[in-house]
Chain A
């Protein structure tokens, strides 16, 4: 029997002005699955993730998290998901512990469970000794860890991470990828990236976006079988990396 669906998005469309940024994107996520949302810059990844997390409402289409429609029961649906945007949403003048406790309270974690959840989130993200530090004093890598910790502190069924490894050094990237794989054991994870090899390392399935449209939606084996998509993506990727260099 397949694992239960934790998130499903149907026919999402979103306009920015007159431009269709996301065009008829549908995807489904099952428990224990890591889904890679792949696309180069401007492909509509972030807008799609904002709709999946309830920060933006689609112009048409629907998103359901744990069977709660985000348009109708946003409070219940959002309580089941954790989101790390491209820039971690952190208050620089707060201590790490306060930041995480605030995020947990917002997601309706009960007072009794707060210490236990805080401890667990910090342990998973390697932040046990950093609780009393001010967020603004941390390095980018550690801020990213706090960003992930705030997304998972309420132990959500769905974790959405928008380019979590961008701007990190290789050791930090390795740690974050290991953490994402570990998260995939207990929650469902959606990970957006423009790196194909990142998807190959940590994801079970992939959705590829190009100009707001989904051009591939399937398992990694299916992706490898469609060599034209892979090669075209690799070319895009190589272009992006040479630009970066």
Chain B
């Protein structure tokens, strides 16, 4: 049931020309950045060769690329997530889901899975670009995999957050702006100190971005997603007048 809904949402996302335009723009930016970083690296390579503990190609090129994608995901995910529930309501198709034998949890998980599948494709395309480094040098596979995990967890977090705001907003545009505002605020918390900093997805992503795999960071993302998904399920149940 969750798969049926996820597949339909993925189909809807891909049938919108705006999705293809956003994906093309994203690939262009990433490709351009990748080449620029590669060029910079090649220029300083001779100096780096004389250093004892020189940074490798992966940390100099792949890690900044993942960092850039993390920032782009922050901005793009709300544009994809805004439609998930708010648009179904606006187009009156929501009643088809509400009167089908689906629980609120199944609807939310189906929509979450659909969006995450799209974002996973974006991330895999970027990771494939990073893997290209293996053609010319010995790539740090561990660091690339760590970044893949980090990006995927970050995308899941933004998707869950975006889904919640799509459920509470009447208009998709309002859903996108609210989700973006909250995501940016959370991102900026990284600059604050103490406990607030620990609340920022960026803080936890930075650890994974530098190759530090810690269960605390993974637990943060799992909790973050669970929190927003539960909040969405609760909102939908409440809206039906349920208990």
Contacts and interface: CB of A to CB of B under 8 A. Distances in A.
Interface of A: 14, 50, 53-59, 74-79, 81, 83, 85, 87-94, 98, 102-103, 105-108, 150
Contact of B92 (A77, A87, A102): A87
Contact of A106 (B11, B15, B102): B102
B241 A103 contact: no
Contact of B241 (A58, A81, A98): A58
B92 A79 contact: no
A173 B242 CA distance: 36
Contact of A57 (B11, B95, B97, B241): B241
A8 to B, nearest CB: 18
B96 A78 contact: no
Contacts of A57: 240-242
Contacts of A92: 91
Contacts of A89: 92-96
Contacts of B240: 55-57
24 contacts: A55-B98, A55-B99, A57-B241, A57-B242, A74-B103, A77-B101, A78-B99, A79-B101, A83-B95, A83-B99, A87-B92, A88-B92, A89-B96, A91-B93, A102-B4, A105-B4, A106-B1, A106-B4, A106-B5, A106-B100, A106-B101, A106-B102, A107-B100, A108-B1
Interface residues of B, number: 24
Interface in B83-111: 91-103
A221 to B, nearest CB: 33
B100 A78 contact: yes
Nearest to A15: B241
B170 interface: no
A85 B92 contact: yes
Interface in B1-30: 1, 4-5, 8, 11-12, 15-16
B4 to A, nearest CB: 4
B12 A59 contact: no
Top 7 nearest A-B pairs by Cβ distance? A89-B96, A57-B241, A106-B100, A78-B101, A87-B92, A55-B98, A75-B101
Interface string B220-243: 000000000000000000001110
Contacts of B99: 53-55, 78, 81, 83
A92 to B, nearest CB: 7
Given A59-B241, A93-B15, A54 B98 contact: yes
Most buried by B among A50, A77, A89, A107: A89
Given A55-B99, A81-B99, 13 more contacts: A53-B95, A55-B98, A74-B103, A78-B99, A89-B96, A92-B91, A93-B16, A103-B100, A106-B1, A106-B5, A106-B97, A106-B101, A108-B101
Contacts of A105: 4
A93 B241 CA distance: 31
A150 B100 contact: no
Contacts of A90: 93
Interface string B48-77: 000000000000000000000000000000
Contacts of B242: 57
A94 B88 CA distance: 14
A93 to B, nearest CB: 5
A165 to B, nearest CB: 18
B241 A56 contact: yes
Nearest to A102: B8
A39 to B, nearest CB: 20
Nearest to A77: B101
A74 B241 contact: no
